[in-house]
Amino acid sequence: MVIDRIALLLAIIGGLNWGSIGLFRFDIVAWIFGGQTAVISRVIYALVGLSALWCISLLFRSRDEADEEA
């Protein structure tokens, strides 16, 4: 399903961003979009959070259901 892939991609981007914050104290999203309080940065943070919530549903789907959608 397309929304699953988009959510997974956003969750990966968020994970990489958090990894860079944890390892290097460098927030890639804030750097690209003008700070943590910039509107676009906050929108991206919110989308990443929502995609992570969506990805939780992937854990509880049966494998047969996932294969039918592909």
* Backbone dihedral angles phi then psi of residue 60, each to the nearest 5 degrees: -105, 5
C-alpha–C-alpha distance, residues 56 and 4, integer Å: 10
Rounded to a whole number of angstroms, the CA Rg of the chain reads 14
C-alpha–C-alpha distance, residues 13 and 9, integer Å: 6
- Please state the separation of Cα 24 from the chain's center in Å: 19
Task: Kindly state the tokens that stand for 55.
Answer: 């990805």
3-class DSSP state for residue 25?
A: coil
Per-residue pLDDT at 6 exceeds 90: yes
* Per-residue model confidence (pLDDT) at position 45: 96
* Per-residue model confidence (pLDDT) at position 69: 64
Taking only the tens place, the pLDDT of each residue in 16-68 is 999 999 999 999 999 999 999 999 999 999 999 999 999 999 999 987 665 66
**Domain map (residue ranges) of the chain:** 2-69
